[in-house]
Chains A and B, each alone.
Chain A
Amino acid sequence: MKCTLKLFVLLATILVTGCSITPWVKPYERGYLADPIMSFEPDAVSSNYMHHVYQAREGSRGAEGGGSGGGCGCN
């Protein structure tokens, strides 16, 4: 718990002080990043389904970046 508290203080310090960092990519320089082709998951209905397929057929699960719930239709 002591370690958790230290980690909390460290992260809080980094993030609070970090908020004053000047952005190295200015808002007007983000044209490429705003292009729809740069989205990690442009179509949630499709990517959620693929996460579900892999969750049901592979032993690993989690950290896909999408949602997860119970039930898989795979009994």
Chain B
Amino acid sequence: MSALLDPAVGIVACPLVACLVTLTTGRWLPLRGAIPGLVATAGSLGLAVWVALRLALGTAPTHETVYTFVGGVDGQGVVFSFGLLVDPLSALMLVVVSLIAVLVHLFSVGYMNEEGESDLDRYYAGLGLFTFSMLAFVVADNLLMAFVFFELLGLCSYLLVGFWFRDPGPPSAAKKAFLVTRLGDYFLLVGVVAVFATFGSGAFAGPDSFVTAAEGVVDSDTGYTFLDLSGQQVVDGIGLLVLGGAIGKSAQFPLHTWLPDAMEGPTPVSALVHAATMVAAGVYLLARMYGFYALSPTVLAVIALVGGFTALFAATRALVEQELKQVLAYSTISQYGYVMLALGGGGYVAAVFHLTTHAVFKSLLFLGAGAVIVATRHEEDMWEMGGLRERLPVTYYGFLAGSLALAGVFPFAGFWSKDELLFETLDHAAGGVSVLWVAYAMGLLAVAVTVLYTVRMLLLTFHGDPRTDRAADPDSVGWTMQAPMVVLGVLAAVAGVLNLGTLRGVLGEETLLLAEFLSGETLEGFGGLTTENGGFALSAGQYAETLHDAAGYEAAGLSPVLSGMVALALAFAGVAGAVLLYRGDDPDTHVARLGRLGSVLANNDHQDEFQVWLASSVARRAALAANRFDRGIVDGVVNGLGAVALSLGGRFRRIQTGLVSNYTAMLVLGLTLLLLVFGLTEGWWV
């Protein structure tokens, strides 16, 4: 089958077609382009489900090149191409992305169209382009293609955050989001170049992949060195460079500052781009090349520490925010910290699981927040709400499901995935990777804080007495907004069945559907993606083996139930704390009790100031020095050469006197000179 006829191409192409249709004819369509977007994303979802089911039922993964734009010379040199890699991981992600995209398109009809926003064709075209980029990123079979669409995601995020560009806030937020992620992407770009330069290939999978090449390089027997660096150090360095891109995109500390500002964009955009999909791109990239990271214990430790710290730190920020979407933004950062923690802690399946469940419950929370915002006529401050429970029942129960999942309350989806990842980290920490203890401790502490801010958010928004007129008399929420919340609410409640890891001792390993799927156990063929001993190269099992052999990750074999109990106990402590603090009809803010810490927290922990300081003193000084060098020395040399060339040119021009006798004389002289010099050097007259 030609690569272009693969259903994955259709999945990717549908939103692009919708984007083009909306761009060209959107202004004349009913609902200004929502319909092509809905149809296209629904088509993508259908195809994605089909592709995932095929994999689940045994069809081999697809690994095909669609278009080669630089083919090398005679099989030498690097190959740049666009290709498909549809394996269990990308198939799962395709389903998640297209599902959220459909629901967000539907929600947008209520949120944007019925609110009478203008320029909606631009909005839907942006959503279409974004969905296209994300899906193409997910199926990318090589690092360069992934980078291309990674950048396109950044552009779409810029366009969508800045959708209301006539207001002062959104353009500034869009710029910030673009620039801060650009800093991470800079490292990623260097990493991509380094991968191609070091390994000669950017393919994620297959015998020619850089992952396979890296295994050879790390192997000290091959004696690979580069500038006195050992193979292990080279792989570590490249891993850190690519990690830079992931940290920027997934809003991890210290490049997380753009995400709260990005909430200036329309709320459906926040749900799609800044909760479920684009922010996931960073950690997805790490999962995509997990075979590479599994070779490098140093980078894994960095990932785990960054993840654990971000999870805890962002959760404390979420605790003190006053605006609903800000709480959710920090919560997103915190939750992706968990995913990073899982990746660093050796829990590949747990990371993917949490990525999936988080996409569901966080987009649900954002949609719920959007519904609340619409109902209260664009009120975002939680202290101006309260008591919405009776007036917006569907929204409340949807939001409740999302909150319980986020808080990790049994048996909602978030409980299973968060528990799984904490357990994996703990298990490997106990197995001898001592740095994971630190990361685990931060992750565990964050559980309590997460519950605290979740319950606070829920209580302040929906419980108690309405604190303003708008909260007392909210508008109704239309079905286009309610339907997505219902779908996601159900999923947030039950998605845990994918992988009931905490109960694996009771139910048996075979109930871990996701683990089985990601390990390639459902596959009947591997489409050429086999390891030396015949296993599936991109499987969780293979990664675990690499982790064990290369990074020294050993499982201590602890009981998952015990770890679950610890987390659950902390969660209950959090609930108790929150209820204690914010119960009643008219809760207090409690900020005053924090003292000086309160002012630090209120000022975004001074992270923004720190970045401005970084830009204005360090970066600006370096730039000025570079500018002086460029102007004085580089330009000086260039201008000098130019002046010399021009003056020489003037002289050469004057050789052409216009007198033919001069010409013949010079011609003959030139020839004579040539003859003389060669005659003498060749010794014709000796």
Do the two chains belong together in a single complex? Answer: no
Q: Which residues of A contact B (CB under 8 A)?
A: none
